[in-house]
Amino acid sequence: MKTNEWWRRAVVYQIYPQSFNDTNNDGIGDLRGIIEKLDYIKSIGVNTLWLTPFFESPLIDNGYDVSDYKKVASDFGTMQDMEALIAEAHQRGLKLIFDLVVNHSSDQHQWFRESKLSRDNKYSDYYIWRDPKPDGAAPSNLGSVFGGSAWTYVKARNQYYLHLFAKEQPDLNWDSKALRYAVYDVMDFWLAKGVDGFRMDSISFLSKNAEFEDVPVEDNKKFGAYYYGTANGPHIHEYLKEMHQVIYSKYPDIMLVGETPHTSMNQAKLYVEPNRQELNMVFQFEHMHVDYGAYGRYSDVTFKMSDLRQSMARWQKTLSWNALYLGNHDQPRLVSRFGDEGRYRVKSAKMLAMIQILQKGTPFIYQGDEIGMTNAHFTALSQYKDLEAHNTAAFLQSEHVSHKQIMTFLARKSRDNARTPMQWEDTVNGGFSSHKPWIEVNTNYAKINVIEATSDENSILAFYRQLIALKLQSQLTIDGDFTLISANDSSVFAYQRQLDGQKLIVLGSFSDKKVRYSLPKEIANANGKLVLSNYQDTPNDLNPTLFLKPYEGVVYLIN
Ligand code: TEU
Ligand code: CA
C-alpha cells in the first residue's frame, strides 16, 4: 500500500525529555513538562515531535539503555501521562515519533537477566554470546564506542557478551527470529497507541559479521575500532525489509528514520531508496566529521566551511531524500560549532538554520537551537554527566594529553553541551525547574531564553517561524532539485532549489567580515525577489554582485 508520505512535509522538533521542562520539581524534565509546552512548540511552526528515550531505564546512557520497552520511566511520568501527551499532540496537529533503541538493551532488561543465566533458556540467544579464546581472553580485540573492550565475561555461561557501547548496553542478537519479532511487538505496542513512527537508534549496527575476528588496531591503541566488521553487516537489509513488511502491513502511514553511524553514501542509499521498502531517511554522519582531530570527535579543530558544503552537497545530490541536521543530543550546539556564539550569535544562528532547513529533505530542529542556545562552557570535569565525557577524559589522560587540553576538547565537543536544561525565562534555573537540575543550566540563561525570544520580533525564534513557513509553503522547497551555485567560494555556502520554472536561491556567508560575492551569469541576469534575510537592509532585487554582511543569509525567488 502506498503511504501519503507526510514525512516529506514534516519539520521535526527533537525533545530531550530530561532537559526540557520539569513540572514536579525534582530536577528532571518530564512528560507533563512536554505537554505544558506543546503550544509553544506548535508556535514554532513544526509539525512533528521526536522524543528521545523516556522508557524504563537505569539511565547509564541517559535512557539509551532500555530495561522495559513498554514502560515509562518513573522519573519522566506514567503511561497515562504518555497517553495524554499523544492525545494532546495530535489534537494540535503534531505527529509524534519515538526513539527505538534496539541495537542493544539495558543489562537490566528481563531478556538479558535471563539470557546471562544459561546457554539453553528461552532468551539465551537474544544477545551475542561467544566463547573465550583458548587462553580465556575475549573473543576478539574489538573496542567499544565508550572505551574499553566490547566484550564482557559472564561466569554462569563461561562466555563473553558483545556490547558496542557501554557494558551495561548488551547488543541484541538480530539473527534470532524470536528477538526480531519481540522488537516488532514493541513497535506494534506504541503504534497501537497512536505513535506516528520511530527514530531507530544505531540501525547500521543491527546485523553483525558473525565471525568477530581480530580487527586492525590503529597505532598503539589497545582495541580495534568497534565499527570494523560490525557496521552494515550481511543481513541488515533482509531484517529491515522483514520489519517493514510486518509493520507497514498494519500501519502503512508511519515515518521511519534510521541513525546510521559508519555508513557511506552508497550504503545509505540501500536504506532509503523508495523502491527498497526499508526506511524513509537516515541520519548520516559524514558532515559531523569536518572537525575531527587526532582523537576523533574530541578535538579543538575548527571546521572549514568548504568541507561542510562539499559533504552536504554530495548527499543532496546522491540520495533522493535526506534527514537534515546540524545538531542533536549527541553533538555540540550548532551555533557554537558552525557559527559565532559571541558577537554574531543571532545572525549566525539564523543563517545556519536557513542553510540547513531549505535543503531537500526533512529538517530536524533540536530543542533550544530555535533560541540560539550555546555550548555549556563547563570548567570542571565534575560538571559533565555524560559517561562518554568521563571515559574520554580517562582515555586521553592515559595518552598523556594534558588536563587543560582535555577540558578544551570537552568544552568544544562533549554531548553535554546540548544537554543543559532548556532556557525558558530569566528566573532561577532558567525556568526549567525550581530544584537543582540533574545537569547545570547554562549561565547565559538570563540573556538567552524563550520569553526574551518571544518578545523580540527580530529574534532567532521569529526567524525560525518565518523559515519553517517558507519551507512548508510551496512544492519548490519540498521537491525542488538541489544544486550548489558555487563550489569554490571560501565564505559563501550558495545553493539553489529548482522546480518547473521556479528557482530558490539560498546564500549564507560563514564570514564575520563583509564579503563580495558574484553570481554566475545564468542567475545574475534573472529577476529575483528577496523572500527572507537575517538583515533589515538587504536589497529587494537580486543583484549580480552581492555584498554580504557578517553571517548574512539571504533567500531570493526567481519565478
Ligand atoms: O548514537 C549512536 C552513535 O553511534 C553515535 O552517535 C554516538 O553516540 C556518538 O558518536 C558518540 O560520540 C546513539 C544515540 O544517539 C546516543 O545518544 C547513544 O549514546 C548511542 O546511540 C547508544 O545508544
Ligand atoms: Ca520532573
Q: How many residues are given for the chain?
A: 559
- Is the pLDDT at 1 greater than 60? The verdict is no
- Ligand 2 centre from 437 Cα, in Å? 9
Rounded percentage of the chain residues whose pLDDT exceeds 90: 92
What pLDDT sits at residue 220?
A: 57
Spacing, Cα 390 to ligand 2 middle (Å): 25
Q: Whose CA is nearest to atom 12 of ligand 1?
A: 330
User: Is the pLDDT score of 221 beyond 90?
Assistant: no
- The pLDDT tens digits for 261-295 are 999 999 999 999 988 899 999 999 999 999 999 99
Measured from the Cβ of residue 296, the count of other Cβ atoms closer than 10 Å reads 11
Q: How far is it, in rounded angstroms, from Cα 361 to Cα 19?
A: 27
Taking 80 as the threshold, does the pLDDT of residue 219 lie above it? no
Give the residue-averaged pLDDT of 39-63: 98
Per residue in 223-260, pLDDT (tens digit) is 777 666 678 999 999 999 999 999 999 999 999 999 99
Q: What is the pTM of this model?
A: 0.97
CA of 330 to the centre of ligand 1 (A): 6
Q: What's the CA-to-centroid distance between 18 and ligand 2, angstroms?
A: 8
Question: What ligand is nearest to the CA atom of residue 145?
Answer: 1
| 392-432 pLDDT tens trace | 999 999 999 999 999 999 999 999 999 999 999 999 999 99
Q: Is the pLDDT of residue 325 over 80?
A: yes
**Which distant-in-sequence residues (6+ apart) come within 8 Å of 15 by Cβ?**
34, 49, 50, 51, 52, 367
pLDDT digits (tens, 9 = 90+) for 78-100: 999 999 999 999 999 999 999 99
Terminal-to-terminal C-alpha distance of the chain: 36
* Ion ligand 2: protein residues whose beta carbon lies under 5 Å: 22, 24, 26, 28, 30
Structural domains of the chain sorted by starting position, each given as residue range(s) with its CATH number in brackets: 6-101+285-465 (3.20.20.80), 478-558 (2.60.40.1180)
- pLDDT on residue 171: 98
Q: What phi and psi values does residue 412 have, to the nearest 5 degrees?
A: -85, -35
**pLDDT bucket at 3, cuts 50 / 70 / 90:** low
From atom 7 of ligand 1, which residue's Cα is the shortest distance away? 330
Task: Provide the pLDDT for residue 2.
Answer: 47
For position 124, what pLDDT does the model report?
A: 98
Residues 6+ apart with CB under 8 A from 407: 379, 381
Overall average pLDDT of the 190-201 stretch: 98
The grid coordinates of residue 370 equal 530555535
For the chain, give the mean pLDDT: 96
Confidence at 216, pLDDT banded by 50, 70, 90? confident
Q: Pick the closest to residue 371 from 433, 459, 440, 469 (CA basis).
A: 459
**AA identity, residue 94:** L
Buried b (16+ CB within 10 A) or exposed e, 171-193: bbbbbbeebbebbbebbeebbee
Per-residue confidence (pLDDT) for residue 213, from 0 to 100 = 83
pLDDT > 70 fraction of the chain, expressed in percent and rounded: 98
Q: For 133-153, how does the pLDDT look when each residue is reduced to its tens digit (9 = 90+)?
A: 999 999 999 999 988 899 999
Pocket of ligand 1 (CB under 6 A): 61, 64, 101, 145, 165, 201-202, 259, 261, 297, 329-330, 388
Residue 525 is predicted with a pLDDT of 87
Block residue for cell numbers 537592509: 537
Alpha helix ranges (H) inside 161-235: 177-192
For position 147, what pLDDT does the model report?
86
Active site residues: 201, 259
